[in-house]
Amino acid sequence: MNGIDFSQRRDAMIESHIAGRGIRSQLVLEAMHAVPREAFLPQDLHEFAYQDAPLPIAEGQTISQPYIVALMTEALALKGGETVLEIGTGSGYAAAILAQIAKEVYTVERIGQLAEKAAAVLSDLGYRNVHVLHADGTRGWEDHAPYDAIVVAAGGPEVPESLKAQLKIGGRLVIPVGADRRFQELVRVTRISELRYETEDIADVRFVPLVGAEGWATPTDDATTAKPHKGITAARQIPEKIIAASREEFDSIASADLEPLLRRIGDARVVLLGEASHGTSEFYRMRERISRELIERKGFSFIAIEGDWPDAARIDHYVRHATYPASEWTAFARFPTWMWRNREVRDFVDWLRKRNGQVESGRRVAFHGLDLYSLFTSIESILTYLDDIDPQTAQVARQRYGCLTPWQADPATYGHATLTGGYQTCEHEVVSMLSDLLQKHRSYAEHDGERFLDAVQNAKLIASAEQYYRIMYYGSRASWNLRDSHMFGTLQNLLQFHGPESKAIVWAHNSHVGDSAATEMSARGEYNIGHLCREEFGNAVYSIGFGTNSGTVAAASDWDGPMEIKTVRPALSQSYERLCHDAGGARFQLPLRAPKTADLIGALSKPRLERAIGVIYRPETELQSHYFQAVLPHQFDEYIWFDKTEAVSPFATGELEGLPDTYPFGL
């Protein structure tokens, strides 16, 4: 008629938005192919018929989004030949889809004009098995009850009792319900027996209100507001649509406009930058881009990483052009080497060194490590320091730390041995050493404040690590908490050391920086640096999580195993990652801090799965090994999404050997 090839558009929409988003039922897909959606729309909207979106029809109502119609129809689990009741005829489109599968469709519409128009269109299209009634559908349609399935296309405060009563035993009722009339949960109620019903959650959705005796009393919240639902459409309100409407997309890491993000960060003193794996290039590079802006535009004073103190100290020595002798061992040489010894990190380190070279020494940005796995390099570092400035104390330190020497090859055996083998613990030794050092603050720090900080941090690390390996034996919770407390304590010391005006950037995994109170960790009694920061700094901490759907990642199969480049499986349904993937868009930032994003927060506040890949990735047991429950908008202030990602580029062995002496990572 106007030259539009509707059937081609229909096929394309079904392929990408219906089948493409996980609708599997052959009956539903065939029905979607058979019904001409344009016939249910006013002429001027025909060209939009096969966008997967709801559209306005008369009376401030909407024709449902095709995906939602398909999702609800699939949830009814029809096999063909059933008697179905629909509440909310609207345009009649969903009734036509149902009529392709069911034997008889009874549909009820509250607005007379819509009921008439829908009946006419359905009849013109030749549907003889659809029966339209103008009435309040919250009461059902008694005459033809009981029904095999009932579907409601408008959201009420609760499931109407009349509808439950009109279900056959074994029948399914799919309906959006929610106490807030702006949001609903799509639920399926199955009648198990005469008196028993079972309810399942299907999705977060937003529909026009179900108005009637067993629904909302009035069509709007406020009777004086004219048609507030015009333009508010069911589909726009489902989470992936809200994500699509709220996000800030960008073309590349280099060109991303970070102005809005910097404004949101405002005067925050601590910015936590996460990652959803320890081996994804995009996470590192975006984190670095943000860090460069924070340093140059907002005067951030140091970066603190989820890496060991003495290893990061070597990088710090290099980037701040320190003049005292650098330690001689290789930084980040222990498993997992690729986490820091990679090109992405090296590019940043080189940039930072150059940048620092252009400012006076007091304004150079430092690079520190928060983690505690370097028991023996920390001991070595302290001994070197003491040999240099106080050889007598160095003797004492050698003796005390000697207590730990038997466990050097495998510190994890220390806890086991002290508990079961009658070996003495070294707690007293390491704690005494730390307090001796702290007491010498005045005389040592006068000598060189930076080197004293380094020694104290190493002594604290040794004390924490001694305890860590001892309690590790009891299980993971206590040692996890000890480790994150240590990291948080280090961050606090650093803020104190760098002065009241100092500001910190933290690079660590999402599982450390996202507030543990918003994840299943809290149910296990675990907390993390993100939570401790939130308690301490409130809104003066801004935490950013990262996520991806698929691609490759650098990870091992087992602890201490070799690095492999592994394929990341597409995100599981029920996960935040799947929502972001379904929202479309290759890269985006998603601001999550209230109040501006209340709609988004509302839509994402139901707990979902979230994926965490660490240094180990086991795709074979992905659900058990890598997914946990979380409430994303409470966990982070912002989420940065890369739909497809690539593994980091670790240093090749040849490169390691050929590095010049001054190179920060060492030989």
Minimum distance from residue 110 beta carbon to ligand SAH (Å): 4
User: How many CB atoms are closer than 10 A to CB 561?
Assistant: 13
Q: Residue ranges of the alpha helices (H) in 426-584?
A: 427-439, 441-447, 449-471, 476-498, 510-513, 529-537, 576-582
CA gap 357, 657 in Å, rounded: 26
- For ligand SAH, the closer of residues 141 and 488 by Cβ is 141
CA gap 53, 41 in Å, rounded: 12
Minimum distance from residue 628 beta carbon to ligand SAH (Å): 37
- For ligand SAH, the closer of residues 87 and 590 by Cβ is 87
Q: Which residues, at least 6 apart from 466, have a Cβ–Cβ distance to it below 8 Å?
A: 375, 404, 414, 425, 426, 427, 430
- The answer to whether 35 touches 7, Cβ cutoff 8 Å, is no
Q: Name residue 647's beta-bridge partners.
A: 280
Minimum distance from residue 105 beta carbon to ligand SAH (Å): 11
Q: Cis peptide leading into 595, omega within 30 of 0?
A: yes
CA gap 407, 377 in Å, rounded: 13
Minimum distance from residue 174 beta carbon to ligand SAH (Å): 12
CA gap 71, 391 in Å, rounded: 74
- For ligand SAH, the closer of residues 74 and 577 by Cβ is 74
Helix axis angle for 309-319 and 375-389, nearest 10°, is 60
Roughly how many angstroms between the first and final C-alpha of the chain, as a whole number?
A: 74
- For ligand SAH, the closer of residues 151 and 553 by Cβ is 151
Task: Say which DSSP state 514 is in.
Answer: S
CA gap 163, 143 in Å, rounded: 13
- For ligand SAH, the closer of residues 62 and 575 by Cβ is 62
- Antiparallel, parallel or unpaired: β 587-591 and 638-645: antiparallel
CA gap 578, 627 in Å, rounded: 12
- For ligand SAH, the closer of residues 60 and 619 by Cβ is 60
Q: Is 64 annotated in the active site?
A: yes
Minimum distance from residue 208 beta carbon to ligand SAH (Å): 5
Joined tokens for residue 507: 């690079």
CA gap 415, 302 in Å, rounded: 34
- For ligand SAH, the closer of residues 43 and 420 by Cβ is 43
Q: Which residues, at least 6 apart from 13, have a Cβ–Cβ distance to it below 8 Å?
A: 50, 51, 52, 66
Question: What does the CA dihedral 378, 400, 468, 341 come to, rounded to 10 degrees?
Answer: 10
What is the CA angle 107-111-116, rounded to 5?
Answer: 65
| CA 476 to centroid of chain Cα atoms | 23
Residue from 16, 25, 64, 277 carrying the catalytic annotation: 64
SS3 492: helix
SS3 544: strand
- For ligand SAH, the closer of residues 219 and 584 by Cβ is 219
- The answer to whether 282 touches 586, Cβ cutoff 8 Å, is no
Minimum distance from residue 43 beta carbon to ligand SAH (Å): 16
Binding site for ligand SAH (CB under 6 A): 61-64, 87-88, 90-91, 93-94, 108-111, 114, 136-138, 153-154, 208, 210-212, 215
- For ligand SAH, the closer of residues 75 and 312 by Cβ is 75
Minimum distance from residue 146 beta carbon to ligand SAH (Å): 19
Minimum distance from residue 48 beta carbon to ligand SAH (Å): 14
Nearest-CB residue for ligand SAH: 90
- The answer to whether 627 touches 576, Cβ cutoff 8 Å, is no
CA gap 404, 3 in Å, rounded: 82
- Residues assigned a catalytic role: 64
